[in-house]
Structures are given as C-alpha cells and as structure tokens.
Amino acid sequence: MLDPKLLRTDIDTVITSLARRNFSFPRDEYLQLEETRKTVQIRAEELRQERNSRSKGIGNAKAAGEDIQPLLAQVESLGDELEAANAELNEVQAKLNNLLLGLPNLLDKSVPDGADESANVAIRHWGDIPAFDFSPLDHVDLANNLGLLDMNGAAKITGARFSVLKGGLARLQRALIQFMLDMHTQEHGYQEIYAPYIVNEESLLGTGQLPKFADDLFALKGEQGFALIPTAEVPLTNLVRDEIIASEDMPLHFVAHTPCFRSEAGSHGKDTRGLIRQHQFEKVELVQIVAANASSEAHEALTAHAENILQTLELPYRVVTLCSGDTGFGAAKTYDLEVWLPAQNTFREISSCSNFHDFQSRRMKARWRNPDTGKPELVHTLNGSGVAAGRALVAVLENGQQADGSIRIPAALQPYMGGLTQLQSK
C-alpha cells in the first residue's frame, strides 16, 4: 500500500510513477473520495466529541444528585446523527481503502523504463553456455528415458500440471532443497523456518496477493478464508505482521522450503510440457526484514545469495533487472535470475528477487523501533527464490546431460546423493 499522506500531499509524483507501469491512476475518483472522507470524518469526530462531553456532563450531574432528564433530552438526536455519520464514514473509507489496496507500488528510481519483458535489462552473465557434441534433449525426455518421471500418473491421480518424480529424480530434488537450505543457513546467515502451507486472508492481504490476485490462488473450502500458499513469502513475511520489532532483533533473515501452489489462471497453453510450470512445486525462499535505509544493499545481498546457489551448482545464468512495465504489483524493484536451459536454447526464470520497500509492511503494520528516534518505523521487506527447486531440477538435468543419456550430478549435490556422481538407467 502507498502512503496515504503522500497521496494527499503529492499526488502528481504518484501518478507519474505509476504511469511508468502503464497504470493509470483514477485521479478524479480518488480526489472525490478523499474530499468526502475529510468532511465526513471531521463531522463524525465532532459529533463524537459532542457526545463524549455531554455524557461526561450527565455523569457529573448524576454524581451531584441533579435531575438528568433535561440533559438526556438534549442528547436524544445526537445518537442518530452520529450513527449516520459513522455509516457514511465507513462507507467512504471502505471505498478509499479498496482503491488504495489496488494501487501498485512506486518504482525504485533505478528501475529502467519499458513496456514489457522485452525491455528488461540483462546486467550480468555467469558461467559458460555448455556446448554439446550431440543434440541435447529436454528434461522430460531425459527423465523419461531414465524411467524417473511419471506425468501420466500425476494426471491420473490429480490432473494436468502436476508431476510424479521417482527414484533418483525425486532424491535429486530433495538433495537440491537440502543443499540450498544448508547453504543459506550456514553460509548466508538465514534462520531456517518451518511454517504453515495454509494461510488466512489477512496474510494474503499483507503481502499483496489479495485483493487483486485471488484467481491465482487455490482457496480452501470453508468460511475461514484459507488458501494454499503460492510462495513461502506469504507465511515468512507475515511473521512480522502487526509487530514492532526490537532494534536488537533487526535485521531478520528467514529461509524456508515449502511447496508452492498456483492456479496458473491465465497461463493456459503456456509451458504445458514438463516441469517448468506446475500447480505444485518446491521452492526455497529467502525473506529479509530490514530498516528502510538498508534495503537497497540488502536487495543486492539477497540476489547474490540466490546467485551463489546457481554458481555452486555450476549452472550458467544471467541477472535481469525488470523494467517498469514488467515489475510485479508490490515490488519497487526486481532482479530475475534466469538459468540457461539448453533444450529451449534460452534463459528461463529460476529466481525472482524483489525489494518491496514499505509496500507490504504498511499493509501488514510491520514496524521496528528505531533507537535513534525511539519511534516505530515501517520496515522494508524483501524476498527472493533461493531458488525454485523444480526449475533447478530441470536445469541440472538439461545442463548435466551426457551423450549416453546419463545426468552428471553437480559436485555440490553429491554428498546429498550418497556420493552418487550421475543418474543413469539401470
């Protein structure tokens, strides 16, 4: 959520910034709601003040043993007026709030202009694109040839966009997850978290999945408003919702492995083959909660932590700064890590690292106490995949394939595979 005060005092800055996203700010609607809010709120508060002071007067009169009947008569109509004013205020505030919750974040100044992903800017590459002296297969063929993937089984037990991994492939994914968690906890200073895979509406509102992106979620039946998490970002970041964090506890660095559940509404026909786009996938997620003045630096560090995973896995990748039109709803700035997939002959997103500034924390009321001022201040939140395990699995398969169809296991994973150096058919 944007700062309502900024909207009131400098609406043009907001309009200009959001225009970079191709988002047109409903100026007239906002100005009208805001003006109504102001007059109605002032009136409601005045009425309440009037009621409070009269009630106090009645109390005093009663204590003094006076007749309070005339006083009661005076306040008779006040209650109705106040009730009406309150109803009006609630209504306008709900509308205003709705509008506010639907506004995307302001972009960081350093985000490049551009309409869509074609304008994203690759800022660095790592690793050599592997040269094969045979034509590389995609991960589906590779895994099928090894007898380790059963898409039909998944389709039977659930449906499209689910997968069944077997034997060495299932173990390899588990190895990837273990490896990533160990690296982030032991070398990058994150605290490992195990958290619920089901969250409530407040949490989804806090991180920005709701109200706008309800269609992307798997909602659970029942009246609690529960949904399966689309990413561990939701439970991890909401850990600080409604908290004032003590300065000695700052910054917070969380890492968790969770499955992620996405309905993939609107992506029919996209990446239908294989494990690239699934309704359920495994991911290791990094979340940082930092002071406002530390978030840019934290963003670079967090991205480097995700990069370190790919480097240690010997997977070639590039880092891309998302342009203004491609940056997600709540993010102020995003770096995508794109890993090389030989079969597709292209780079594909394997991690997305974003700085949300105070967008999520304002929704969540997540603050920390700044020792310099003694006052609570909104934190900045960041998150990034560190990295998506399903896609990492794809990348390891495709980049590690050999002429005989076996898969070379990166050295960093071998300890997690009982010393196995390659996957091969028996």
Partner RNA sequence: GGAGAAGUGGCUGAGUGGUCGAAAGCGCUCCCCUGCUAAGGGAGUAUGGGUCAAAAGCCCAUCGAGGGUUCGAAUCCCUCCUUCUCCGCCA
Q: Are 392 and 314 in contact, with CB atoms under 8 Å apart?
A: no
Two tokens, residue 68: 């309070």
Element (H, E) at 63: helix 27-63
Identify whether 37 is a catalytic site residue: no
Identify whether 110 is a catalytic site residue: no
Tokens 């399966």 belong to: 228
Among residues 263, 267, 303, 300, the alpha carbon closest in space to that of 286 is found at 303
Point out the catalytic residue in the list 203, 351, 352, 354. Answer: 352
Backbone phi, psi, residue 147, to 5°: 70, 30
Piece of the chain touching RNA by CB under 7 A; list 70-78, 201-209, 254-262, 335-343: 70-78
189 binds RNA (CB under 7 A): no
Two tokens, residue 271: 């990446």
Binders of RNA among residues 80 to 99 (CB under 7 A) are none
Q: Looking at 12, 24, 28, 53, which residue binds RNA (CB under 7 A)?
A: 53
Piece of the chain touching RNA by CB under 7 A; list 59-67, 201-209, 265-273, 333-341: 59-67
Q: Is the peptide bond before 4 cis (omega within 30 degrees of 0)?
A: no
Piece of the chain touching RNA by CB under 7 A; list 49-57, 96-104, 144-152, 407-415: 49-57
Q: Looking at 13, 16, 32, 55, which residue binds RNA (CB under 7 A)?
A: 55
Beginning with the edge strand found earlier in the chain, give each strand of the sheet holding 376-378 in spatial order: 244-245, 367-369, 376-378
Binders of RNA among residues 211 to 270 (CB under 7 A) are 244
Identify whether 262 is a catalytic site residue: yes
Point out the catalytic residue in the list 20, 37, 161, 262. Answer: 262
Q: Are 404 and 125 in contact, with CB atoms under 8 Å apart?
A: no
Handedness of CA 180, 181, 183, 189 (dihedral sign): positive
* Count of residues engaged in binding RNA, rule: CB under 7 A: 29
Q: Looking at 6, 10, 13, 56, which residue binds RNA (CB under 7 A)?
A: 56
Binders of RNA among residues 375 to 404 (CB under 7 A) are 375-376
For residue 192, list its beta bridge partners: 255
By CB under 7 A, name the binding residues for RNA.
4-5, 8-9, 38, 41-42, 45-46, 48-49, 51-56, 58-59, 62-63, 72, 75, 78-79, 244, 367, 375-376
Task: Just list the catalytic residues.
Answer: 262, 277, 349, 352, 391
